């Protein structure tokens, strides 16, 4: 049995404003006060894990220990089939220190040169850690393919080149509400809610 979340306040253990916004949107139906790790001046831990789950866990633990509050972390990325799952857990790092996702998307497109398989998945691991060391982890994915050139400015990161399966529009073009209904983050979040937030 997963541990139920019974506290009033939760730290969103991310320094990515796009993620903090999406997780805040997803948490809105629940009566929990949210504050981000950045707002609390909590540092970004080094992401030394070799899996999305391991990195989500270490980020959640880091913020829970630093704040004394439960903390929810997200480790996510784009896994491209023809690139053996790259950039994967290195998705943020492909954008370099200036977090230039135009550049990161260009790198993906260059790596795909000459390949016909343009399928990809977004993966999201969510880890909820309590200050006593207990952790719950959930993972979600969404399948799609990659378009070029990138389209739309509604999302963040790799959204402008990712088109979920069965959609004409990219995650850069669709309404955030629609992304929240179908995304990897939403899929992981549904499991988190089922396990930890439902009565
Ligand atoms: O670690 P935190 O502080 O949460 O922020 P981050 O941006 O470094 O996040 P990650 O380490 O999980 O790296 C994942 C990268 O994958 C990309 N990514 C994840 N989810 C995405 C989404 O829904 N849409 C577009 N890109 C996404 C995004 O660019 C992230 O920077
Ligand atoms: Mg990161």
- Cis check for the bond before 96: say yes or no (omega within 30 of 0): no
36 is a domain residue: yes
Question: Does residue 4 form part of some domain?
Answer: no
Q: Total domain count for the chain?
A: 1
Taking the C-alpha atoms of residue 62 and residue 44, their distance in angstroms, rounded to an integer, is 9
Catalytic residue among 75, 86, 117, 175: 75
Please answer whether residues 129 and 57 qualify as being in contact, where contact means their C-beta atoms are separated by less than 8 angstroms: yes
Copy the structure tokens of residue 36.
């981000």
145 is catalytic: no
Does residue 58 lie within any of the structural domains? yes
Residue numbers of the domain that contains 134: 9-197
Phi, psi of 96 (to 5 degrees): 75, 175
Whole-Å CA distances, 161 to 2, 107, 109: 36, 12, 9
Ligand index nearest the alpha carbon of residue 56: 1
Q: What pLDDT, in 10s, does the model give residues 75-130?
A: 999 999 999 999 999 999 999 999 999 999 999 999 999 999 999 999 999 999 99
Does residue 2 form part of some domain? no
| Confidence (pLDDT) at 70 | 98
Percentage of the chain surpassing pLDDT 70?
100
Question: Alpha-carbon distance 137 to 143, whole Å?
Answer: 21
Q: What residues have a C-beta under 5 A from ligand 2, the ion?
A: 92
78 Cα–ligand 2 center, Å: 13
> What pTM was computed for the model?
0.97
Protein residue with its CA nearest to atom 10 in ligand 1: 75
Tell me the per-residue pLDDT of 176-192, one tens digit each, with 9 for 90 and over: 999 999 999 999 999 99
Q: Which residues have C-beta within 8 Å of that of residue 135, sequence separation ≥ 6? A: 57, 60, 61, 127, 128, 129
Report the Cα–Cα distance between both ends of the chain, in Å, rounded: 13
Q: Looking at the predicted structure, is the pLDDT value of residue 164 above 90?
A: yes
% of the chain with per-residue pLDDT over 90: 98
> Tell me, what's the pLDDT at 119?
98
Pocket flag, ligand 1, residue 164 (CB < 6 Å): no
Ligand positioned closest to the Cα atom of 60: 1
Q: What is the pLDDT at residue 31?
A: 87
Instruction: Give the pLDDT band of residue 38 (cuts 50, 70, 90).
Output: very high
Average pLDDT, the chain: 97
Q: Whose CA is nearest to atom 7 of ligand 1?
A: 16
Confidence of residue 152 (pLDDT cuts 50, 70, 90): very high
Is residue 17 part of an annotated ligand binding site?
Answer: yes
Cα 76 to averaged position of ligand 1 atoms, centre (Å): 5
Most informative mutation of 13, 14, 19, 144 for ligand 1 (most atoms within 8 A of CB): 19
- CATH number of domain containing 142: 3.90.950.10
Please report whether residue 25 resides in a domain. yes
pLDDT at 17: 95
Q: 3 lies in a domain?
A: no
Q: Which atom of ligand 1 is nearest to the CA of 19?
A: 4
E strands along 14-118, which residues? 33-36, 71-80
pLDDT computed for residue 198 by the predictor: 86
pLDDT at 85: 98
Each as own residue / partner, the long-range contacts of residues 142-147 (CB below 8 Å, 24 or more positions apart, any chain) are 142/182, 142/183, 142/184, 142/187, 143/119, 144/119, 144/120, 145/118, 145/119, 145/120, 146/80, 146/108, 146/109, 146/112, 146/118, 146/119, 146/120
* Two structure tokens written together for 197: 């937030």
CB proximity list for 106: less than 8 A, separation 6 or greater: none
């Amino acid at each position: 049995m997963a541990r139920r979340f019974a506290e009033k306040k939760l730290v969103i253990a991310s320094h990515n404003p796009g993620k903090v916004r999406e997780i805040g949107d997803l948490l809105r139906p629940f009566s929990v006060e949210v504050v981000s790790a950045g707002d609390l001046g909590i540092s970004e831990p080094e992401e030394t894990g070799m899996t999305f789950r391991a990195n989500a866990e270490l980020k959640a633990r880091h913020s829970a220990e630093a704040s004394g509050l439960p903390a929810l972390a997200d480790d996510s990325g784009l896994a491209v089939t023809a690139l053996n799952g790259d950039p994967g857990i290195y998705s943020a790092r492909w954008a370099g220190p200036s977090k230039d996702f135009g550049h990161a998307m260009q790198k993906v497109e260059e790596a795909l040169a000459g390949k016909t398989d343009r399928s990809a998945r977004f993966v999201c691991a969510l880890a909820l850690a309590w200050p006593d060391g207990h952790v719950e982890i959930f993972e979600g994915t969404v399948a799609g393919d990659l378009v070029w050139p990138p389209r739309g400015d509604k999302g963040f990161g790799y959204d402008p080149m990712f088109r979920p399966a069965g959609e004409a529009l990219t995650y850069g073009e669709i309404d955030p509400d629609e992304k929240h209904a179908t995304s990897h983050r939403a899929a992981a979040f549904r499991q988190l809610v089922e396990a930890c937030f439902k009565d």
